[in-house]
Amino acid sequence: MKALSQKRRHPLAAIALLLMGLLLTGGLYAVATTVNQAKADTTSFSASDVEEGGKLFAANCATCHGMGASGTQDGPSLVGVGAAAVDFQVGTGRMPMQMSGPQAQQKPAQFNAEQTKQLSAYVASLGAGPAIPEANLLDGKGDAANGGELFRVNCAMCHNAAAAGGALTRGKFAPALAGVSAEHIYEAMVTGPQNMPVFSDSNVTPEDKRDIITFLKTIEANGSPGGADLGSLGPVSEGLFVWVAGLGVIIAFTIWLTSRTS
């Protein structure tokens, strides 16, 4: 008993107890928030959606992502990616991949809307992750001016200031955003597909994401009121056009002038 009481009075005992308390509190908080998030992400899906999604996954996705979506050498684990990631990748036709490459290519979707929902439900049931956005965030009624500023600060370096897309390194690219649905734009921001970073709600709020979508849909609807957009590539394509056209005019004028003097 005397030895036990001496250990209790050890100078480091208070620090050890404090660390244990912090670890216990942090662990309980992480578990609680994970459970709450998982429940929030699966409330829009029924048990039958999850069941049917599991069947579709086993037949079409498990070859690369493994049974239970635990991942293999050919595909990453999908536990915790959320319904939004599946809805984006499958809904845009990027998954299942047609071939290996620097990044998944967009193509006609292999699954219909109902099957995509079922696959999303199954993956969402495996772990907490971003949910499919609510309709009020996709209505295009945000602040386009604020959305434009946010887009130029966060997105234009890859997608171009006019959202026309652009080349990245080693065969990768940022796609053009014209014709992309508001739902898929939002899902891309919260999941970070391919080489895109994740814009969580802590750095770009849901309202800001709504504003960005409004901006993109506004410039898409307006088209190019100033004339031919030349691919919306900025001074590169414009300078090339002026150089080629101007040089052509000079050559034509020179030929005409020399023919007159002869």
Cβ-proximal residues to 236 (8 Å cutoff; 6+ apart), any chain = none
Instruction: Identify the domain boundary among 126, 145, 166.
Output: 126
Q: Is the residue at 17 inside a domain?
A: no
> What is the DSSP secondary-structure string of 37-67?
HHHHHHTTS-HHHHHHHHHHHHHHTHHHH-G
* 20 or 214, greater pLDDT: 214
Query: Quick one: average pLDDT of 92-103?
Result: 88
Q: Is 158 annotated as a binding residue?
A: yes
For residues 161 and 116, membership in a common domain is answered with no
Q: Is 165 annotated as a binding residue?
A: no
Q: What is the pTM of this model?
A: 0.72
| C-alpha–C-alpha distance, residues 174 and 73, integer Å | 26
What is the domain-level CATH number for residue 76? 1.10.760.10
Q: What is the pLDDT of residue 36?
A: 43
Q: What is the pLDDT of residue 24?
A: 79
Q: Is the residue at 162 inside a domain?
A: yes
Q: With 70 as the cut, is the pLDDT of residue 43 above it?
A: no
Q: With 80 as the cut, is the pLDDT of residue 12 above it?
A: no
Q: With 60 as the cut, is the pLDDT of residue 31 above it?
A: no
Instruction: Identify the domain boundary among 126, 153, 170.
Output: 126
Q: Is 238 annotated as a binding residue?
A: no
HSE of 82, CA atoms in CB hemisphere, 13 A: 22
Across the chain, mean pLDDT equals 84
Q: Is 159 annotated as a binding residue?
A: yes
Q: With 80 as the cut, is the pLDDT of residue 139 above it?
A: yes
Among 22-26, 178-182, 234-238, the least confident range: 234-238
Domain count, the chain: 2
Q: Is the residue at 253 inside a domain?
A: no
For residues 172 and 93, membership in a common domain is answered with no
Instruction: Name the pLDDT band for 244 (thresholds 50, 70, 90).
Output: confident
| C-alpha–C-alpha distance, residues 84 and 86, integer Å | 6
Would you give the end-to-end CA distance of the chain in angstroms? 121
Q: Is the residue at 34 inside a domain?
A: no
Choose among 78, 103, 104, 73: nearest CA to 91: 104
Which range scores top for mean pLDDT: 11-15, 72-76, 141-145, 247-251?
141-145
CA 227 to chain CA centroid, nearest Å: 31
Q: Which domain holds residue 58?
A: 40-126
Query: Quick one: average pLDDT of 100-107?
Result: 87
Burial letters 156-174, b for 16+ CB under 10 A, else e: bebbbebbbbbeeeeeebb
Contact 44, 134 (CB under 8 A): no
Q: Is 65 annotated as a binding residue?
A: yes
For residues 61 and 89, membership in a common domain is answered with yes
Q: With 50 as the cut, is the pLDDT of residue 39 above it?
A: no
Q: Is 61 annotated as a binding residue?
A: yes
φ/ψ of 55, rounded to 5, equals: -65, -45
Q: Is the residue at 249 inside a domain?
A: no
